Chains A and B, each alone.
Chain A
Amino acid sequence: GQSLEQPSEVTAVEGAIVQINCTYQTSGFYGLSWYQQHDGGAPTFLSYNALDGLEETGRFSSFLSRSDSYGYLLLQELQMKDSASYFCAVMGGGSYIPTFGRGTSLIVHP
């Protein structure tokens, strides 16, 4: 099977930098994705890492270490609108079906 671990909640202030960690267990790993979900909204895709290293997309960056089965999402210059749940999702086990973690609730304070 597949499993993921991520913190349940992270708090930060506007303008700060926050890192949300994700560790996973799976066989036949393909890649790790990150999704954002606002309350009452649909999950929206943020990033995907298949290879080790850092991928940067604007204020958001995502990192992967395959050897450590670990990744993180880095959010810079936090804004109030970044308050949301963030999910890591692993693709592995022989299929490209995203398996999601339980999510991290990010609360951004003024």
Chain B
Amino acid sequence: DTGVSQDPRHKITKRGQNVTFRCDPISEHNRLYWYRQTLGQGPEFLTYFQNEAQLEKSRLLSDRFSAERPKGSFSTLEIQRTEQGDSAMYLCASTLGDRNTEAFFGQGTRLTVV
């Protein structure tokens, strides 16, 4: 399967713990996005990378959230000191080029903070 893959698919954590998610984009795609989606809502933009450079972060993104894409391939999203409001589906998407209009999404990581 050469699509976007995310790991883990599900994560249950206690409030206050740190969690890290991984995304492997389609191999030749140089742009990678992170989105968050809650029930009944559309994907909400968090941040994106062009190769290894993080070019934009949502103003809504708390400083507890950090993302990396160290070699311009896979990316990680870390949430520190999780809160119940962080419970959501975290989606990763990638595109080929900076003006490519078709984003390919992974299956997401569903985070539940208890």
Contacts and interface: CB of A to CB of B under 8 A. Distances in A.
Interface of A: 31, 33, 35, 41-45, 48, 50, 87, 89, 91, 95-103
A91 B40 contact: no
Interface stretch (B14-22, B61-69, B71-79, B95-103): B95-103
Which of B43, B56, B95, B104 has the largest count of A CB atoms less than 10 A from its CB?
B43
Determine the main DSSP class of B at the interface with A: loop
A102 B99 CA distance: 23
Interface residues of B, number: 25
A53 B93 CA distance: 27
B102 A100 contact: no
A28 to B, nearest CB: 13
Contacts of B25: none
Nearest to B102: A45
